[in-house]
């Protein structure tokens, strides 16, 4: 009480502040950056900023998540759709630690994100204060850049820098740890926002060196069996048209990585499938036949290469990447090109000769036939009683003409979606690739819907991952975002079960789930929900879901012990790919 009286007394004697408070400056910076929506969760140390947000509600929409992890993944989903930094705002301590998983995920998947994190008052730093956590120290290994703001005057410059770093070069997450003092204090000078476009110690190279381009063009022009690996970098650089033109002109087969999915439409004459552990048969096996690999915006992840010592040892490699640290990291490049995928392809296009590689591309088709006989046919055209994930996804693909945005979680269903969804539009897969974060899909889906309100956004989630962030149903219901949610329920942690079956002598160690009634739960959150287990009803149920213009959940009860093939066993060479 005494405290309140003192404050009142002071308030009457102090002149009204001349300048913005730190918290107002943060809001103003978001407006200047054209940020329309942020995802967050309030708490003690971020309260001054939430107070300022109250006055900015007409300019900045805030989506209140149910757990800070949800805010992070939603910001990622938004970023993946728009190419712009998603903004997550949370409080100090546990609020910030809950954000660590999305941040780590965003770093691995090159996703721009700006995390605004509250911190205790500057004078309490290092005192083990309530909800204090060394979040700068903690987030250091998983952020592209982080910074602690202790002075309100720093805010405009640091915010501008944060957005620039997050979005430029190889995108990534940036964390700003903002002390309560910096939020609550008033600036001592007028607010001036100057967008950042240069940092002396950070100069990403967009335009490649001409000498590197020429070297690569020579290799491409003389290759007999060239093969393009298209990664996430193609989509980040918005280079799908350039990739299309390049692939057509030189007539080179193109496979995508998991995150490069949808860089070319699946009916493109040069598209031959996807690479990696559960990728296509031909796409994997023929890596051993190519004489030149042209890797564009991809990083030769172990899930793509299998046993590195046996991967593409016969081939020369042109490696295009904006991040110089990726060059020669896993695979030695014969001709590296450091630069933006779009700029590099633009520079290469006039230098490459028009060619025909009809026979080479036809080789992939031969493998497709084998894969269809041994794998796809079983998944799509079987006469079993139970629905298989593959047929559900293939049906969804047809019904949406391959034009929806699919947001997947992690596990068997993720691989199945990539196998059977026929992507026709670029930037249509949002998934957690590098980190493999279960629980990613549900929050990422509503983030993606905010980023692409005109597209159909469908989250496809396993029953395990769904329960990791199930509370975000509340966010979806409250925000009214018409996200479609499909649970592919096989009552198992399916991918782990598959490994246990294949490599651990069927010792099913803690992979079977006793699941709740998902329909009741969804309805409890106020979300329309339906369940289908009869194959005859699957089509009708999907139609109903797609016709809805509100949030909608469809639980598809799937065959329990289905396996995903093809599969390259972990650590084995891609040649040892299994079809059954």
**For residue 32, what are its two tokens?**
């200047």
Distance of closest approach, residue 228 Cβ to other proteins, in angstroms: 24
What are 188's two structure tokens? 């001592």
In the chain, DSSP finds a helix count (H) and a strand count (E) of 25, 18
Least distance to other proteins, CB of residue 199, Å: 7
Q: Which of 141/516 has CB closer to other proteins? A: 141
Q: Binding of other proteins at residue 136 (CB under 8 A)?
A: yes
- Quick check: 123 binds other proteins (CB under 8 A)? no
Reading the block at residue 209, the tokens are 């060196």
From candidates 328, 366, 381, 524, binder to other proteins by CB under 8 A:
328
Query: Closer CB to other proteins, residue 31 or residue 140?
Result: 140
Task: Please check whether residue 558 is in contact with residue 461, taking contact to mean a CB–CB distance below 8 angstroms.
Answer: no
**Nearest approach, Cβ of 314 to other proteins (angstroms)?**
21
Nearer to other proteins, 14 or 309 (CB): 309
Nearest to 555 by CA among 524, 528, 575: 528
Could you tell me which stretch among 73-81, 239-247, 323-331, 368-376 binds other proteins (CB under 8 A)?
A: 323-331
Where would I find the H helices in 68-209? Answer: 68-82, 94-97, 100-108, 135-139, 155-167, 180-184
| Longest CA–CA separation in the chain, Å | 87
DSSP notation for 363-421 = HHHHHHHHHIIIIIHHHHS---SSBPHHHHHHHHHHHTTT-SEEEE-SSHHHHHHHHH-
Distance of closest approach, residue 334 Cβ to other proteins, in angstroms:
16
Choose the binding region for other proteins from 205-213, 325-333, 378-386, 471-479 (rule: CB under 8 A). Answer: 325-333
Is 165 a binder of other proteins (CB under 8 A)? yes
Binding residues for other proteins restricted to 540-559, rule: CB under 8 A:
none
Token pair for 78:
């938004």
Pattern of binders to other proteins over 198-237, x per CB under 8 A? -xxxx-----------------------------------
The Cα–Cα gap between 329 and 119 comes to 37
Q: Binding other proteins by CB under 8 A: which of 140, 207, 362, 570? A: 140
CB of 293 vs other proteins, minimal distance in Å: 20
Q: Smallest gap, in angstroms, from Cβ of residue 141 to other proteins?
A: 5
Smaller CB separation from other proteins, 140 or 579: 140
Contact in structure between 100 and 161 (CB atoms under 8 Å): no
325 scored as a contact of other proteins (CB under 8 A): yes
Stretch in the footprint of other proteins (CB under 8 A) among 21-29, 111-119, 195-203, 566-574: 195-203
Residue from 17, 141, 453, 571 touching other proteins (CB under 8 A): that is: 141
Alpha carbon distance 519, 521 (integer Å): 5
Instruction: List CB contacts of 82: < 8 A, sequence separation 6 or more.
Output: 451, 452
Task: Figure out which of the listed residues 215, 323, 363, 456 binds other proteins, where binding follows CB under 8 A.
Answer: 323
Q: What 3-state DSSP class applies to 486?
A: strand
Residue 497 · residue 412 · CB < 8 Å: no
- CA distances in angstroms from 300 to 257, 272, 273, listed in the order given: 9, 18, 16
Considering the complex, what minimum distance in angstroms separates the CB of residue 96 from other proteins?
16
Query: Based on CB atoms, which residue is closest to other proteins, 137 or 269?
Result: 137
Q: In angstroms, give the least distance from the CB of 324 to other proteins.
A: 6
- Interface residues with other proteins (CB under 8 A) are 136-137, 140-141, 144-146, 148, 165, 199-202, 323-325, 327-329
């Amino acid at each position: 009480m005494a405290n309140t009286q003192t404050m009142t007394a002071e308030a009457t004697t102090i002149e009204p502040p001349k300048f913005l408070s730190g918290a107002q400056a943060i809001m103003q910076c978001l407006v200047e950056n054209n940020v329309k929506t942020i995802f967050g969760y309030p708490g003690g140390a971020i309260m001054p900023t939430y107070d300022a947000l109250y006055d900015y509600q007409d300019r900045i929409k805030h989506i209140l998540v149910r757990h800070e992890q949800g805010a992070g993944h939603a910001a990622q989903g938004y970023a993946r759709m728009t190419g712009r930094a998603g903004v997550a705002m949370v409080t100090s301590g546990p609020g910030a630690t809950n954000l660590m998983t999305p941040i780590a995920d965003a770093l691995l998947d090159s996703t721009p994100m700006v995390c605004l994190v509250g911190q205790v008052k500057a004078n309490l730093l290092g005192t083990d204060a309530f909800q204090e956590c060394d979040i700068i120290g903690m987030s250091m290994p998983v952020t592209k850049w982080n910074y602690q703001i202790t002075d309100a005057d720093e805010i405009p410059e640091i915010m501008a820098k944060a957005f620039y770093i997050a979005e430029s070069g190889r995108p990534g997450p940036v964390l700003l740890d903002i002390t309560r003092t910096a939020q609550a204090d008033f600036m001592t000078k007028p607010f001036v926002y100057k967008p950042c476009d240069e940092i002396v110690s950070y100069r990403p190279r967009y335009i490649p060196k001409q000498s590197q381009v020429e070297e690569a063009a020579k290799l491409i022009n003389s290759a007999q069996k060239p093969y393009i690996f298209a990664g996430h970098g193609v989509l980040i650089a918005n280079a799908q048209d350039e990739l299309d033109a390049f692939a057509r002109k030189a007539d080179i087969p193109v496979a995508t990585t998991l995150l490069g999915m949808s860089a070319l439409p699946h009916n493109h004459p040069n598209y031959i499938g996807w690479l990696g552990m559960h990728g296509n048969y031909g796409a994997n096996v023929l890596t051993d036949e190519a004489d030149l690999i042209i890797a564009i915006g991809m990083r030769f992840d172990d899930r793509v290469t299998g046993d590195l010592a046996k991967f593409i040892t016969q081939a020369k490699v042109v490696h295009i990447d904006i991040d110089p640290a990726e060059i020669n990291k896993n695979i030695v490049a014969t001709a590296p090109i450091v630069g933006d995928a779009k700029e590099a392809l633009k520079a290469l296009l006039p230098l490459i000769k028009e060619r025909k590689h009809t026979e080479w591309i036809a080789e992939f088709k031969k493998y497709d036939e084998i894969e269809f006989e041994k794998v796809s046919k079983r998944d799509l055209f079987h006469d079993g009683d139970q629905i298989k994930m593959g047929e559900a996804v293939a049906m969804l693909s047809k019904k949406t003409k391959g034009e929806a945005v699919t947001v997947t979680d992690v596990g068997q269903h993720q691989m199945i979606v990539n196998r059977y969804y026929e992507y026709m539009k670029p930037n249509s897969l949002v998934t957690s690739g590098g980190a493999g974060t279960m629980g990613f899909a549900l929050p990422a889906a509503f983030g993606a819907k905010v980023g692409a309100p005109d597209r159909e956004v469908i989250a496809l989630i396993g029953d395990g991952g769904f329960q990791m962030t199930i509370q975000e149903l509340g966010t979806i219901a409250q925000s009214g975002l018409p996200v479609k949610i499909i649970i592919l329920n096989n009552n198992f942690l399916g991918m782990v079960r598959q490994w246990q079956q294949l490599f651990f002598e069927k010792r099913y160690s803690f992979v079977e789930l006793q699941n709740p009634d998902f329909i009741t739960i969804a309805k409890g959150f106020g979300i329309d929900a339906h369940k289908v287990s009869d194959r005859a009803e699957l089509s009708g149920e999907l139609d109903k879901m797609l016709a809805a213009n509100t949030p909608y959940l469809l639980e598809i009860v799937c065959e329990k012990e289905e396996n995903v093939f093809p599969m390259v066993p972990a650590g084995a060479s891609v040649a040892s790919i299994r079809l059954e």
